[in-house]
Amino acid sequence: MEWLKHLVDWQAIAADIRQHFWIYLSLPFVSAIIGYVTKVVAIRMMFQPIEFIGLKAPYLGWQGIIPRKAAKMAGISVDLMTSQLISVREVFERLDPERVARELEPVLVGAMERITRDVAERFQPGLWNLLPEFVRRRIVQRVQADLPGLITQIMRDVSGNIESLFDLKAMVVDNLVRDKRLLNRIFWETGRQEFKFFGTAGFYFGFGIGLVQMVCWVLWKQSWMLPAFGLFVGFASDWLALQMLFRPLRPRRVLGLNVQGLFLRRQQEVAHDYGNLIADQILTPEKIWVAVLQGPLSDRVLALLERHVKQAVDEQAGVARPVLSVLIGSQKYVEMKKAVAESLIRELPLALQSINRYAEGAMDIRNTLIRKMQALSAEQFEGMLRPVFKEDEWILIAIGALLGFLVGELQVFLMVH
């Protein structure tokens, strides 16, 4: 130890410590605060603000990484959902066409009476009112009696061809891009414990590094030390926290303890939260019906519905079809079938809301998502949250390091003045 005495004046150091005791004592705590604040800022920058704040030209401002890249982030979430968790065909095959017909019948019965009367009046004005009441009633009853069979046929056809009629990915991405708050909520709910840990870990890592920083400053008092340590705290604590979130992928024995990435360890819990959120906010029967009837493939759905309705009109007209063609003309008969189809299609969005409770239970989207997510491999499950940190990760780390550096400069100023 003799050589150390020649290098270090211990009496001068002791006197300096007594004089600046509270300042030295503050070093590890300030370092801990740097670690914590840089993490909180980094997390906040992932989600906020929802819309860009600042000047876009030149690009002086910020928008949360997730809202700014909403389409890409939504795509990441949906790719997992559609490739690993849920099958559109499987979900729709759980709907019983006959049960759907029974559920819709009370709602559509009144609508069909109105449609029959309105179409008849439109294509042969006055004829409907000239018909005896019992004839009109019989026509309406015939139409209504055939309605359940028509709905059953349509549902079977839709279910059998659903993958070409309904784009689940487009539906989910469109909903999430339009509602960036919901997109934020999905990623926050998925990783809320990990985000909280991220800040807490930054505090403890910072405190530990701050102890080393304190010792180094006491011994050597180099002005570059404090900003360098601040930069290191901001940078290294990010890296260490990320490693603890996602590594190791699978449980390992380390010093007699089972160790696994914190996010991966919560797979069962996350599966429940994610399944509930998606089932309640995105893949609801109401939103599915809207997507089927108004989405990018809706023209195919409407063509299918129109084909079934026209066929039903022909079957109901039966032997009277040639007579009808003569009475109103062949062209008008074709137009009449189209008018019936269009009128029924307009009634469907509202009518379908009456089967939401049945559809929610039959499709069982909530339990399907939870069950399949719980069965994901560690690599697949990591993909739910890891991309959020990877997107512009260098920016977050750089900002953390910069904040740490600036606080270090402030510490130097306080130490030497």
| pLDDT range class, residue 305, cuts 50, 70, 90 | confident
Average pLDDT score over residue span 295-305: 83
Same domain, residue pair 264 and 194: yes
Domain total in the chain? 2
> Whole-model pTM?
0.74
Same domain, residue pair 371 and 391: no
Residue 10 lies in a domain: no
| pLDDT range class, residue 18, cuts 50, 70, 90 | confident
Residue 412 lies in a domain: yes
DSSP string over 334-403: HHHHHHHHHHHHHHHHHHHGGGHHHHHHHH-HHHHHHHHHHT--HHHHHTTTHHHHHTTHHHHHHHHHHH
Same domain, residue pair 71 and 161: no
CA distance 407 to 411: 6
Give percent of the chain with pLDDT exceeding 70.
Answer: 79
Locate all alpha helices (DSSP H) within 221-329, ordered by sequence.
225-246, 262-265, 267-281, 285-294, 298-317, 321-328
Residue 9 lies in a domain: no
- Of 351, 325, 326, residue with least CA distance to 337: 325
Residue 12 lies in a domain: no
Note the pLDDT of residue 23: 75
Does residue 372 surpass a pLDDT of 80? Answer: yes
Average pLDDT score over residue span 396-404: 73
Same domain, residue pair 221 and 358: no
- Ranking 17-26, 155-164, 349-358 by mean pLDDT, the lowest is 17-26
Residue 103 lies in a domain: yes
Residue 20 lies in a domain: no
Give percent of the chain with pLDDT exceeding 90.
Answer: 1
| pLDDT range class, residue 3, cuts 50, 70, 90 | very low
Average pLDDT score over residue span 19-26: 75
Strands 252-254 and 60-62: unpaired
Token reading at 79: 């790719």
Distance of CA 157 to the CA centre of its chain: 30
Note the pLDDT of residue 242: 72
Select the more confidently predicted residue: 259 or 357. 357
Does residue 395 surpass a pLDDT of 80? Answer: no
pLDDT tens string 132-156: 666 656 666 666 677 778 788 888 8
Same domain, residue pair 47 and 70: yes
| pLDDT range class, residue 289, cuts 50, 70, 90 | confident
Same domain, residue pair 392 and 371: no
Is it true that the peptide bond before 125 is cis, omega within 30 degrees of 0? no
Note the pLDDT of residue 135: 60
Same domain, residue pair 405 and 335: no
Distance of CA 36 to the CA centre of its chain: 28
Q: Given CA atoms 328, 329, 332, 338 in this order, what sign does their dihedral have? A: positive
Same domain, residue pair 108 and 94: yes
Same domain, residue pair 241 and 366: no
Residue 15 lies in a domain: no
Phi, psi (rounded to 5 degrees) for 20: -120, 35
Residue 19 lies in a domain: no
Note the pLDDT of residue 6: 47
Does residue 364 surpass a pLDDT of 50? Answer: yes
Note the pLDDT of residue 347: 80
CA distance 9 to 347: 91
Provide the residue range defining the domain that includes 314. 86-167+278-378
Does residue 4 surpass a pLDDT of 50? Answer: no
User: In 10 A of CB 366, how many CB atoms?
Assistant: 18
Note the pLDDT of residue 330: 61
Same domain, residue pair 67 and 187: yes
Same domain, residue pair 293 and 374: yes
Same domain, residue pair 318 and 348: yes
